[in-house]
Amino acid sequence: MMEGVVIKDLPVHRDARGWLVEFFRADEIAPSMMPVMSYVSSTLPGVARGPHEHLKQTDYFCFAGPSNFKVYLWDNRKNSRTYKKREVYRAGEDSPKAFIIPPGVVHAYKNVGGVHGLVFNAPNRLYMGPDRKEEVDEIRHEDSPDTGFILD
């Protein structure tokens, strides 16, 4: 497993009304990774988001469905023991998972299911900082023709 990345299964509690999944609990997260905001995004079938990385932000992605995703990680931290390592995971409706992704780990995900998929993220930094007055903490690789971060 990639140094500093946390991947955990998300137990699904089902009953006659539907299901419930706990995405995060304060007693299970290191203080440095504690979320300060959250959002949900929808990704259409066959569509990918990323690859990109952050300089300071830790992402806390949850994939619980609907749909399934391939999640791609590349360690781009020169001082990491897993530098240059690439990992690919399946997560979503068939295998609900959370991914805590530290700064310097390039990440992307692709909806490989047949329906739109929802992804929850609770990063430890505010998007564009307080009052949206800072630069976006993101290095985008998907627009670079010579990137080494290829999904498939």
In a domain, 89, yes or no: yes
Whole-number Cα distances in Å, 128 to 3, 89, 119: 27, 29, 20
Of 81, 122, 91, 132, nearest to 9 (Cα)? 91
Tokens 């690859």 sit at which residue?
51
In a domain, 100, yes or no: yes
Q: In this predicted structure, what is the pLDDT of residue 1?
A: 87
pLDDT digits (tens, 9 = 90+) for 88-138: 999 999 999 999 999 999 999 999 999 999 999 999 999 998 999 999 999
Mean pLDDT of 51-70: 97
How many independent structural domains does the chain possess?
1
In a domain, 121, yes or no: yes
24: domain range? 6-130
Q: In this predicted structure, what is the pLDDT of residue 111?
A: 98
Tokens 């609900």 sit at which residue?
96
Mean pLDDT of 80-95: 97
Q: In this predicted structure, what is the pLDDT of residue 105?
A: 98
pLDDT digits (tens, 9 = 90+) for 25-34: 999 989 999 9
In a domain, 22, yes or no: yes
